[in-house]
Amino acid sequence: MKQKDKKKLYAQIGDNLILIGASIIFLTIAVNVGDIVRGNLALKQFEKQKSYSAGIDSDEEKATDGKIKVTNNVAGQKTETESLTEGSEAEDEQTLAETETSDAGLMDDQVLGVMKINKISLKEALKEGVGRSVISSALGHMEGTAFPGEYGNCVVAGHRNYVFGKYFNRLDEIKVGDSIEIETMSDNFKYRVTDKFVVEPTEVSVTDPLEGRQLTLITCTPLFVGSHRLIVRAELVEDTLDRDI
């Protein structure tokens, strides 16, 4: 092969490698953007569900007031309050139907709540399960472990989104004493970090039940390697209702 032909071949190989590299980068960014979009939709879905739930609670109180007033009237008669209550319930049913129709996919994802860690500017949806389809766009609650605020070990797993620094990407910055909040449909739970350590991927005992109301966060470490698992432990310190669970 002539020197000129060799140079041409090398140039073509170089161009192809650049094209392949650019394609991989573009695909990675596209996938990450898609995951983030779905994560943001999940956050909006949770807010919509909570807003709807709050509206139902308010209407139930109004309905109770209406029924009390009905007892002071002749049986079989409908008061103005009762009629308004029925209208409100009909509207609620229509609103729920529209929500289920427009966000059917998200409803199936079972958005349990939202986790917030101000220390690392984290605000992510929390869904049930730790499969790829779940933790690609949200944090995942491990099935079979305690739910937020419950007695036992509530285990939450998350990816480290290297492209945009999302999910548990900055979890290693957490220190003992930092706060973690989980907002559910009915409560706001606040946890205080008590420990942080690294284990082998095979060390599944970190998901075992624990005494008290504990929270365990799990992600891969170190960054860009992921050969081990970073564990953050926290304990419940308060909730908005200050009640026994």
Q: Are the C-beta atoms of residues 141 and 154 closer than 8 Å to each other?
A: yes
The domain segmentation of the chain, as residue ranges, is 1-108, 109-239
Distances in Å between the Cα of 46 and the Cα atoms of 99, 115, 228 are 11, 12, 32
Q: Which amino acid is at 170?
A: R
What local confidence, expressed as pLDDT, does residue 10 receive? 61
Residues contacting 242, CB < 8 A, separation 6+: none
**What is the Cα–Cα distance from 121 to 166, expressed in whole angstroms?**
9
What is the total residue count of the chain? 245
**What is the Cα–Cα distance from 102 to 104, expressed in whole angstroms?**
6
What local confidence, expressed as pLDDT, does residue 5 receive? 65
Pick the closest to residue 240 from 177, 198, 182 (CA basis): 182
**What is the Cα–Cα distance from 153 to 176, expressed in whole angstroms?**
18
- For domain 109-239, the CATH architecture is Beta Barrel (2.40)
**What is the Cα–Cα distance from 229 to 145, expressed in whole angstroms?**
18
pTM of structure? 0.66
- How many CA atoms are closer than 13 Å to the CA of 177, on its beta-carbon side? 0
Q: Which amino acid is at 54?
A: A
Residues of the chain with pLDDT under 70: 1-11, 14-17, 19-36, 38-39, 54-109, 162-165, 239-245
Q: Where are the beta strands (DSSP E) in 31-177?
A: 111-117, 122-128, 139-141, 152-157, 160-161, 166-167
